[in-house]
Structure 1
């Protein structure tokens, strides 16, 4: 009987370990063929049904054409994860971003969903932008400006500068951005270098979004690993 009980406990433990391994297996948010699992929010498309969707699939890559401005948003909500994105500006340098913990659509300037943006703009990759959500970092006044100007809505100081310079690869080359969201902390690496770390985020879960913000950006990998 003791042997049976020990074997039973061993099998239960083994099963639990396998379940944990499966849970933490990375998987792609982009199938390489279409935008299944995502939806588009582009304000210009409201008034003009003929407006071109700025998010397309080309050569098995997800591409943000940059214009018209808007967002590509996951259908699902995510919490406690590591997101790995491989991207490059395929033409002129410009602006784009990954939004985490996204919720209420068009909460800022009738365009940006309530979220925390991890900046991808050329030469500023890894900045945080607070979009009706907020986050703290060390040396806050040095990196965000005077305390009296802080905020997460229109007219407030919403940008929190990243920690490094020269983390991005030259234009035309691929960059790897890793965003780790765990409880109320967010960490960001660009090409293996830690470029930002925030804590006391006002949101802990939400959708993930990609921007169309004026520049063409190619994405060849968008992979998430539960934590």
Structure 2
């Protein structure tokens, strides 16, 4: 991958030459460049309970959470991480601007007790609960993991029903594509595409920090914004466009928030419907 200075110069020139090509620097610019209008807002988390969601846990199944892996306290969703699973919206959504605010807690659990804190926001989720590894529906994942928050994952069986296409760097990073706005496109049916500045020396260890991480340290709040319109997805972390996918399939589905061994707090889940102007 080119060095950081070359990357920024190319990115800046691209925006000047092709301002409507949608590699905008901010969510507002992305909405404007695509001619998108924000419409009705839906607050998916009311700060009081998990109305509008159901739980699914590997060992317990649907709507059985005796150990309160997911609970609401102090106007936050507290995810203990003690068992793999997720909360899932009752409704399916398409064409939206999703905002989520989260921070990591201190606790981690087996089998990832010493591994990087790991969760994710899964969108366009369809099919059977637990279809993937007994934990999650097939979906497109906006990854939240120490050092790798910003990655895209296609959580599926590789059959082609779920796919993303991203512009990527000429060379892979440890065998994985890495997002680069001006790169040639690559399509995947399972696996991941790393965010643009994922540290090449990333290790799956607790408290990992990359040299250019956009994610804030443990205990500080992060802001995720996912703009999903038609078959495009823009993934922002703390105001930075960290990844972008096109020709996404499917383009509609439920939203899941994972429990994957790490304690996490969520204080905002808000969705605004989008239409073309």
Instruction: Sort the TM-score into its range (normalised by shorter chain).
Output: 0.7 to 0.9
Aligned residue in 2 for 1:174: 221
Shift in Å at residue 162 of structure 1? 0.6
Aligned residue in 1 for 2:117: 94
Aligned residue in 2 for 1:160: 193
Asked if the contact 2:164–2:189 (Cα under 8 Å) also holds between the matched residues in 1, the reply is no
Q: TM-score, normalised by structure 1?
A: 0.80
Asked if the contact 1:137–1:197 (Cα under 8 Å) also holds between the matched residues in 2, the reply is yes
Structure with bigger strand share is: 2
Runs of 4+ aligned residues of structure 1 deviating over 6 Å after TM superposition are none
Aligned residue in 1 for 2:29: none
> Residues 76-95 of structure 1: matches in 2 within 5 Å?
76-92=91-107, 94-95=117-118
Counting matched residue pairs gives 196
Q: 1:89-144, CA deviations, whole angstroms, 9 ceiling, x for partnerless residues?
A: 02156111000000112222122211001001111111011112221101276363
Query: Structure 2: how far apart are the matches of 1:59 and 1:199?
Result: 38
Match of 1:125 among 120, 124, 149: 149
Asked if the contact 2:55–2:65 (Cα under 8 Å) also holds between the matched residues in 1, the reply is no
State the structure with more CA Rg.
1
Structure 2: tracts of 5 or more residues without a match: 1-36, 108-115, 157-161, 178-187, 198-211
Q: 1:172-220, CA deviations, whole angstroms, 9 ceiling, x for partnerless residues?
A: 1100010011011111110000000001111100000100000010001
Match of 1:75 among 82, 90, 95: 90
Given the superposition, is the C-alpha separation of residues 50 and 87 from structure 1 closer, same or farther in structure 2, using an over 3 Å criterion?
A: closer
Q: TM-score, normalised by structure 2?
A: 0.66
Aligned residue in 2 for 1:60: 75
Query: Structure 2: how far apart are the matches of 1:78 and 1:50?
Result: 25
